[in-house]
Structure 1
Amino acid sequence: MPKEAAQRQVLIRHADRPGDLGWVIMTHGELYARQFGFTADFEALVAKIVGDYAAKHSPAAEAGWIAEIDGERVGCVFLVAGDQPGVAKLRVLLVTPAARGLGLGTRLVEQSLAFARAAGYRRVTLWTTDNLVSARRIYEHFGFALADEAPHRGFGHDLVGQNWILDLHGSPARQG
Protein backbone atom coordinates (compact mmCIF):
# COMPACT_ATOMS: atom_id res chain seq x y z
CA MET A 1 0.00 0.00 0.00
CA PRO A 2 1.48 3.41 -0.95
CA LYS A 3 2.43 5.75 1.82
CA GLU A 4 0.79 9.14 2.05
CA ALA A 5 2.78 11.88 0.32
CA ALA A 6 3.63 13.53 3.65
CA GLN A 7 5.24 10.32 4.91
CA ARG A 8 7.23 9.60 1.78
CA GLN A 9 10.98 10.19 1.63
CA VAL A 10 11.56 12.60 -1.28
CA LEU A 11 15.10 13.25 -2.46
CA ILE A 12 16.60 15.28 -5.31
CA ARG A 13 20.17 14.08 -5.89
CA HIS A 14 22.86 14.16 -8.55
CA ALA A 15 22.50 11.62 -11.33
CA ASP A 16 25.77 9.92 -10.44
CA ARG A 17 24.83 6.40 -9.37
CA PRO A 18 25.13 3.29 -11.54
CA GLY A 19 21.92 2.85 -13.51
CA ASP A 20 20.83 6.50 -13.34
CA LEU A 21 21.68 7.34 -16.95
CA GLY A 22 20.17 4.13 -18.29
CA TRP A 23 17.03 4.77 -16.26
CA VAL A 24 16.68 8.25 -17.82
CA ILE A 25 16.86 6.79 -21.33
CA MET A 26 14.62 3.78 -20.67
CA THR A 27 11.98 5.73 -18.80
CA HIS A 28 11.76 8.44 -21.45
CA GLY A 29 11.42 5.78 -24.18
CA GLU A 30 8.76 3.75 -22.41
CA LEU A 31 6.77 6.63 -20.94
CA TYR A 32 6.65 8.77 -24.07
CA ALA A 33 5.68 5.75 -26.19
CA ARG A 34 2.85 4.96 -23.78
CA GLN A 35 1.65 8.54 -23.24
CA PHE A 36 2.18 10.12 -26.65
CA GLY A 37 2.81 7.25 -29.06
CA PHE A 38 6.38 8.44 -29.67
CA THR A 39 8.61 6.07 -31.65
CA ALA A 40 12.06 4.80 -30.69
CA ASP A 41 13.45 7.91 -32.45
CA PHE A 42 12.61 9.83 -29.29
CA GLU A 43 14.46 7.34 -27.11
CA ALA A 44 17.43 7.66 -29.50
CA LEU A 45 17.42 11.45 -29.04
CA VAL A 46 17.40 11.05 -25.25
CA ALA A 47 20.17 8.45 -25.51
CA LYS A 48 22.31 10.91 -27.50
CA ILE A 49 21.73 13.70 -24.97
CA VAL A 50 22.53 11.42 -22.05
CA GLY A 51 25.45 9.76 -23.86
CA ASP A 52 27.03 13.13 -24.68
CA TYR A 53 26.61 14.15 -21.05
CA ALA A 54 28.18 10.92 -19.79
CA ALA A 55 31.11 11.10 -22.19
CA LYS A 56 32.19 14.69 -21.80
CA HIS A 57 30.36 16.72 -19.17
CA SER A 58 32.27 19.17 -17.03
CA PRO A 59 31.05 18.89 -13.42
CA ALA A 60 31.60 22.62 -12.89
CA ALA A 61 29.37 23.54 -15.84
CA GLU A 62 26.91 20.66 -16.28
CA ALA A 63 24.86 18.44 -14.00
CA GLY A 64 22.00 15.98 -13.91
CA TRP A 65 19.58 15.24 -11.11
CA ILE A 66 17.34 12.35 -10.17
CA ALA A 67 14.20 12.68 -8.06
CA GLU A 68 13.50 9.73 -5.80
CA ILE A 69 10.58 8.76 -3.62
CA ASP A 70 11.36 6.15 -0.99
CA GLY A 71 14.56 5.23 -2.86
CA GLU A 72 12.84 4.73 -6.23
CA ARG A 73 13.72 6.93 -9.22
CA VAL A 74 10.71 8.98 -10.31
CA GLY A 75 12.12 11.99 -12.17
CA CYS A 76 15.11 13.64 -13.78
CA VAL A 77 16.50 16.74 -15.43
CA PHE A 78 19.86 17.73 -16.91
CA LEU A 79 21.53 21.11 -17.40
CA VAL A 80 24.23 21.15 -20.07
CA ALA A 81 26.33 23.80 -21.76
CA GLY A 82 24.72 25.39 -24.79
CA ASP A 83 26.30 26.24 -28.12
CA GLN A 84 27.17 29.80 -27.04
CA PRO A 85 29.24 30.96 -24.06
CA GLY A 86 27.09 31.82 -21.04
CA VAL A 87 24.11 29.81 -22.31
CA ALA A 88 22.96 26.50 -20.81
CA LYS A 89 20.32 24.05 -22.00
CA LEU A 90 17.70 22.43 -19.80
CA ARG A 91 17.23 18.86 -21.03
CA VAL A 92 15.23 15.67 -20.42
CA LEU A 93 12.86 16.86 -17.69
CA LEU A 94 10.59 13.99 -16.69
CA VAL A 95 8.43 12.97 -13.74
CA THR A 96 6.77 9.56 -13.80
CA PRO A 97 2.95 9.50 -13.67
CA ALA A 98 2.86 7.99 -10.17
CA ALA A 99 4.94 10.89 -8.82
CA ARG A 100 3.16 13.76 -10.57
CA GLY A 101 1.37 16.38 -8.52
CA LEU A 102 4.01 16.39 -5.78
CA GLY A 103 5.94 19.37 -7.18
CA LEU A 104 8.93 17.30 -8.27
CA GLY A 105 9.13 18.82 -11.74
CA THR A 106 9.26 22.26 -10.17
CA ARG A 107 11.92 21.14 -7.69
CA LEU A 108 14.04 19.61 -10.46
CA VAL A 109 13.91 22.76 -12.58
CA GLU A 110 14.57 24.92 -9.51
CA GLN A 111 17.67 22.84 -8.73
CA SER A 112 18.95 23.12 -12.29
CA LEU A 113 18.41 26.89 -12.43
CA ALA A 114 20.19 27.38 -9.09
CA PHE A 115 23.10 25.39 -10.51
CA ALA A 116 23.04 27.48 -13.72
CA ARG A 117 23.25 30.70 -11.73
CA ALA A 118 26.09 29.38 -9.55
CA ALA A 119 27.95 28.20 -12.66
CA GLY A 120 27.75 31.71 -14.12
CA TYR A 121 25.31 31.14 -16.98
CA ARG A 122 23.44 34.20 -18.26
CA ARG A 123 20.67 32.30 -20.03
CA VAL A 124 19.01 28.92 -20.08
CA THR A 125 17.28 27.62 -23.18
CA LEU A 126 15.21 24.54 -23.86
CA TRP A 127 13.50 22.82 -26.74
CA THR A 128 10.23 20.99 -26.28
CA THR A 129 7.04 20.17 -28.12
CA ASP A 130 3.72 21.90 -27.59
CA ASN A 131 1.94 18.76 -26.39
CA LEU A 132 3.96 18.72 -23.14
CA VAL A 133 1.55 21.05 -21.35
CA SER A 134 2.54 20.28 -17.74
CA ALA A 135 6.21 20.89 -18.46
CA ARG A 136 5.35 24.18 -20.16
CA ARG A 137 3.53 25.35 -17.01
CA ILE A 138 6.70 24.68 -15.01
CA TYR A 139 8.84 26.61 -17.51
CA GLU A 140 6.43 29.55 -17.46
CA HIS A 141 6.42 29.51 -13.64
CA PHE A 142 10.17 30.17 -13.66
CA GLY A 143 9.90 32.93 -16.26
CA PHE A 144 10.87 31.10 -19.43
CA ALA A 145 9.49 32.87 -22.49
CA LEU A 146 8.52 31.20 -25.75
CA ALA A 147 11.09 32.46 -28.27
CA ASP A 148 9.78 30.68 -31.37
CA GLU A 149 7.91 27.64 -32.55
CA ALA A 150 7.64 25.75 -35.82
CA PRO A 151 6.04 22.59 -37.18
CA HIS A 152 8.22 19.57 -36.47
CA ARG A 153 7.91 16.06 -37.85
CA GLY A 154 9.43 13.71 -35.34
CA PHE A 155 8.97 10.69 -33.15
CA GLY A 156 6.24 9.41 -35.50
CA HIS A 157 4.05 12.54 -35.27
CA ASP A 158 3.44 16.02 -36.62
CA LEU A 159 4.29 18.25 -33.67
CA VAL A 160 5.09 21.87 -32.95
CA GLY A 161 8.65 22.33 -31.72
CA GLN A 162 9.19 25.18 -29.30
CA ASN A 163 12.29 27.04 -28.14
CA TRP A 164 12.09 28.69 -24.72
CA ILE A 165 14.56 31.14 -23.14
CA LEU A 166 15.14 32.35 -19.60
CA ASP A 167 17.39 35.34 -18.90
CA LEU A 168 18.88 34.57 -15.48
CA HIS A 169 19.74 38.21 -14.77
CA GLY A 170 16.51 39.97 -15.61
CA SER A 171 13.22 39.64 -17.36
CA PRO A 172 12.56 36.76 -19.73
CA ALA A 173 14.15 37.25 -23.13
CA ARG A 174 11.97 37.04 -26.18
CA GLN A 175 13.40 36.69 -29.64
CA GLY A 176 11.46 36.41 -32.74
Structure 2
Amino acid sequence: RLLEPLGSAERAALREALATAESLLGGLSRTAPVCLFRDPEPGDMGWVLHRQAILYSREYGWDGRFETLAMKICGEFMQSFDPEKERVWIAEMDDRIVGSVFVSRASDNVAKLRMLYVEPDARGHGIGRKLVGECMSFARRSGYTRMTLWTNNVLTAARAIYEKAGFELVDTNAHDDFGVPLIGETWERDL
Protein backbone atom coordinates (compact mmCIF):
# COMPACT_ATOMS: atom_id res chain seq x y z
CA ARG A 1 0.00 0.00 0.00
CA LEU A 2 2.82 2.37 0.78
CA LEU A 3 4.15 2.17 -2.77
CA GLU A 4 0.79 2.27 -4.57
CA PRO A 5 0.78 6.05 -5.15
CA LEU A 6 4.23 5.94 -6.74
CA GLY A 7 4.50 5.95 -10.51
CA SER A 8 7.05 3.85 -12.40
CA ALA A 9 9.66 6.64 -12.39
CA GLU A 10 9.32 7.12 -8.63
CA ARG A 11 9.54 3.36 -8.04
CA ALA A 12 12.69 3.17 -10.19
CA ALA A 13 14.21 6.08 -8.23
CA LEU A 14 13.31 4.38 -4.95
CA ARG A 15 14.87 1.06 -6.08
CA GLU A 16 18.03 2.92 -7.10
CA ALA A 17 18.19 4.75 -3.76
CA LEU A 18 17.63 1.54 -1.78
CA ALA A 19 20.27 -0.31 -3.81
CA THR A 20 22.72 2.51 -3.15
CA ALA A 21 21.93 2.41 0.57
CA GLU A 22 22.36 -1.37 0.60
CA SER A 23 25.68 -1.06 -1.17
CA LEU A 24 26.90 1.61 1.26
CA LEU A 25 25.87 -0.49 4.25
CA GLY A 26 27.71 -3.57 3.02
CA GLY A 27 24.82 -5.34 1.37
CA LEU A 28 22.12 -7.49 2.84
CA SER A 29 22.86 -10.40 0.59
CA ARG A 30 26.16 -12.00 -0.34
CA THR A 31 24.81 -13.73 -3.44
CA ALA A 32 25.48 -12.20 -6.83
CA PRO A 33 22.37 -10.88 -8.55
CA VAL A 34 21.14 -12.71 -11.61
CA CYS A 35 21.34 -10.63 -14.77
CA LEU A 36 19.61 -11.73 -17.96
CA PHE A 37 20.22 -10.39 -21.45
CA ARG A 38 17.21 -10.15 -23.73
CA ASP A 39 16.09 -8.59 -26.99
CA PRO A 40 14.41 -5.19 -26.78
CA GLU A 41 10.67 -4.90 -26.30
CA PRO A 42 8.44 -1.94 -27.20
CA GLY A 43 9.46 1.04 -25.07
CA ASP A 44 12.94 -0.25 -24.22
CA MET A 45 14.78 2.03 -26.65
CA GLY A 46 13.03 5.07 -25.17
CA TRP A 47 13.94 3.87 -21.68
CA VAL A 48 17.60 3.37 -22.64
CA LEU A 49 17.71 6.85 -24.14
CA HIS A 50 16.00 8.34 -21.07
CA ARG A 51 18.32 6.65 -18.58
CA GLN A 52 21.52 7.47 -20.45
CA ALA A 53 20.54 11.15 -20.73
CA ILE A 54 19.84 11.31 -16.98
CA LEU A 55 22.91 9.32 -15.91
CA TYR A 56 25.42 11.23 -18.01
CA SER A 57 23.90 14.55 -16.96
CA ARG A 58 24.09 13.63 -13.25
CA GLU A 59 27.46 11.90 -13.33
CA TYR A 60 29.37 14.11 -15.79
CA GLY A 61 27.36 17.30 -16.25
CA TRP A 62 26.54 16.60 -19.90
CA ASP A 63 23.85 18.82 -21.35
CA GLY A 64 20.93 18.18 -23.69
CA ARG A 65 23.19 17.86 -26.71
CA PHE A 66 24.18 14.38 -25.51
CA GLU A 67 20.51 13.42 -25.37
CA THR A 68 20.09 14.77 -28.91
CA LEU A 69 22.97 12.62 -30.16
CA ALA A 70 21.68 9.54 -28.31
CA MET A 71 18.21 10.14 -29.76
CA LYS A 72 19.68 10.35 -33.25
CA ILE A 73 21.66 7.12 -32.74
CA CYS A 74 18.59 5.25 -31.44
CA GLY A 75 16.33 6.63 -34.19
CA GLU A 76 18.71 5.76 -37.01
CA PHE A 77 19.28 2.31 -35.52
CA MET A 78 15.56 1.58 -35.32
CA GLN A 79 14.84 2.99 -38.78
CA SER A 80 17.45 0.94 -40.63
CA PHE A 81 17.66 -2.11 -38.34
CA ASP A 82 19.07 -5.20 -40.07
CA PRO A 83 18.67 -8.25 -37.76
CA GLU A 84 21.35 -10.17 -39.68
CA LYS A 85 24.01 -7.52 -38.97
CA GLU A 86 22.72 -5.51 -36.00
CA ARG A 87 21.53 -6.23 -32.50
CA VAL A 88 20.52 -4.71 -29.16
CA TRP A 89 20.89 -6.41 -25.78
CA ILE A 90 18.87 -5.28 -22.80
CA ALA A 91 20.37 -6.29 -19.45
CA GLU A 92 17.73 -6.99 -16.83
CA MET A 93 17.97 -7.73 -13.10
CA ASP A 94 14.96 -8.21 -10.84
CA ASP A 95 12.62 -7.38 -13.74
CA ARG A 96 14.17 -3.98 -14.39
CA ILE A 97 16.49 -2.69 -17.08
CA VAL A 98 20.02 -2.19 -15.74
CA GLY A 99 21.97 -1.76 -18.95
CA SER A 100 22.17 -2.14 -22.69
CA VAL A 101 24.43 -2.10 -25.72
CA PHE A 102 24.01 -2.00 -29.51
CA VAL A 103 25.93 -3.43 -32.44
CA SER A 104 25.34 -1.50 -35.65
CA ARG A 105 26.79 -1.78 -39.12
CA ALA A 106 29.59 0.70 -39.86
CA SER A 107 30.50 -0.97 -43.18
CA ASP A 108 30.37 -4.44 -44.74
CA ASN A 109 33.33 -5.58 -42.63
CA VAL A 110 33.19 -3.24 -39.62
CA ALA A 111 30.73 -3.40 -36.72
CA LYS A 112 30.19 -0.48 -34.37
CA LEU A 113 29.66 -0.99 -30.63
CA ARG A 114 27.30 1.73 -29.38
CA MET A 115 25.39 3.01 -26.37
CA LEU A 116 26.92 0.78 -23.68
CA TYR A 117 25.62 1.67 -20.25
CA VAL A 118 25.06 0.01 -16.88
CA GLU A 119 22.94 1.49 -14.09
CA PRO A 120 24.99 2.72 -11.09
CA ASP A 121 23.52 0.20 -8.65
CA ALA A 122 24.23 -2.69 -11.06
CA ARG A 123 27.87 -1.85 -11.67
CA GLY A 124 30.64 -4.10 -10.41
CA HIS A 125 28.94 -7.36 -11.41
CA GLY A 126 30.59 -7.75 -14.82
CA ILE A 127 27.50 -6.70 -16.78
CA GLY A 128 29.37 -4.23 -18.99
CA ARG A 129 32.10 -6.77 -19.71
CA LYS A 130 29.53 -9.43 -20.63
CA LEU A 131 27.59 -7.03 -22.86
CA VAL A 132 30.78 -6.16 -24.75
CA GLY A 133 31.55 -9.89 -25.06
CA GLU A 134 28.09 -10.50 -26.54
CA CYS A 135 28.72 -7.72 -29.07
CA MET A 136 32.02 -9.20 -30.18
CA SER A 137 30.60 -12.73 -30.50
CA PHE A 138 27.61 -11.51 -32.50
CA ALA A 139 29.84 -9.40 -34.77
CA ARG A 140 32.06 -12.40 -35.52
CA ARG A 141 29.05 -14.62 -36.28
CA SER A 142 27.66 -11.88 -38.53
CA GLY A 143 30.80 -11.83 -40.66
CA TYR A 144 32.42 -8.65 -39.41
CA THR A 145 36.22 -8.66 -39.23
CA ARG A 146 36.68 -5.49 -37.20
CA MET A 147 34.85 -3.57 -34.47
CA THR A 148 35.02 0.13 -33.66
CA LEU A 149 33.53 2.34 -30.97
CA TRP A 150 33.54 5.97 -29.88
CA THR A 151 33.66 7.00 -26.23
CA ASN A 152 34.92 9.81 -24.03
CA ASN A 153 37.91 10.01 -21.71
CA VAL A 154 35.82 10.48 -18.55
CA LEU A 155 34.09 7.11 -19.01
CA THR A 156 36.94 5.30 -17.27
CA ALA A 157 35.07 2.12 -16.34
CA ALA A 158 33.89 1.60 -19.93
CA ARG A 159 37.37 2.39 -21.26
CA ALA A 160 38.83 -0.28 -18.95
CA ILE A 161 36.32 -2.82 -20.28
CA TYR A 162 37.22 -1.98 -23.86
CA GLU A 163 40.94 -2.24 -23.18
CA LYS A 164 40.56 -5.62 -21.43
CA ALA A 165 38.48 -6.82 -24.40
CA GLY A 166 41.39 -6.08 -26.72
CA PHE A 167 40.35 -2.73 -28.15
CA GLU A 168 43.10 -0.22 -28.88
CA LEU A 169 42.83 3.56 -28.79
CA VAL A 170 43.37 4.78 -32.36
CA ASP A 171 42.28 8.43 -32.30
CA THR A 172 41.44 11.26 -29.90
CA ASN A 173 39.69 14.57 -30.44
CA ALA A 174 39.07 17.34 -27.89
CA HIS A 175 35.48 18.62 -27.94
CA ASP A 176 32.81 20.25 -25.81
CA ASP A 177 29.85 18.78 -27.68
CA PHE A 178 28.00 17.95 -24.45
CA GLY A 179 28.65 21.24 -22.64
CA VAL A 180 31.87 20.31 -20.84
CA PRO A 181 35.45 19.81 -22.07
CA LEU A 182 35.97 16.19 -23.14
CA ILE A 183 38.30 14.09 -25.20
CA GLY A 184 36.45 11.88 -27.66
CA GLU A 185 38.17 8.58 -28.32
CA THR A 186 37.91 6.04 -31.13
CA TRP A 187 38.83 2.49 -30.16
CA GLU A 188 39.12 -0.47 -32.56
CA ARG A 189 40.03 -4.14 -32.65
CA ASP A 190 40.17 -7.03 -35.10
CA LEU A 191 37.64 -9.79 -34.52
TM-score by length of 2: 0.83
1:6-43 deviation line (CA, Å, top 9, x unaligned) = 3633101122x111100110001000000000001101
Larger Rg over CA atoms: 2
Aligned to 2:65: 41
CA contact 1:9–1:71 (8 Å) conserved in 2: no
**CA separation of 1:9/1:120 partners in 2, compared to 1, >3 Å: closer, same or farther?**
same
CA contact 2:101–2:131 (8 Å) conserved in 1: yes
- In structure 2, which of residues 91, 100, 124 is the aligned counterpart of residue 76 of structure 1? 100
Aligned to 2:118: 95
Give 3-state SS (helix, strand or coil) of 1:8's partner.
Answer: coil
Large movers: runs of 4+ above 6 Å: none
Q: Partners in 1 of 2:126 and 2:157 — Cα distance?
A: 11
Aligned to 1:173: none
Aligned to 2:12: none
1:66-110 deviation line (CA, Å, top 9, x unaligned) = 11101110000000000x320010000000100000100001111
CA root-mean-square deviation:
1.4
Q: Partners in 1 of 2:174 and 2:29 — Cα distance?
A: 42
Give 3-state SS (helix, strand or coil) of 1:6's partner.
Answer: coil
CA contact 1:125–1:166 (8 Å) conserved in 2: yes
Letter of the structure 1 residue corresponding to residue 65 of structure 2: D
CA contact 1:90–1:126 (8 Å) conserved in 2: yes
State how many pairs are aligned. Answer: 166
Q: Which runs of 5+ in 2 are unaligned?
A: 1-17, 20-27
TM-score by length of 1: 0.90
- In structure 2, which of residues 34, 39, 58 is the aligned counterpart of residue 9 of structure 1? 34
Q: Partners in 1 of 2:165 and 2:157 — Cα distance?
A: 13
Q: Partners in 2 of 1:46 and 1:67 — Cα distance?
A: 18
CA-CA distance at 1:147 after TM superposition: 0.4
CA-CA distance at 1:152 after TM superposition: 1.3
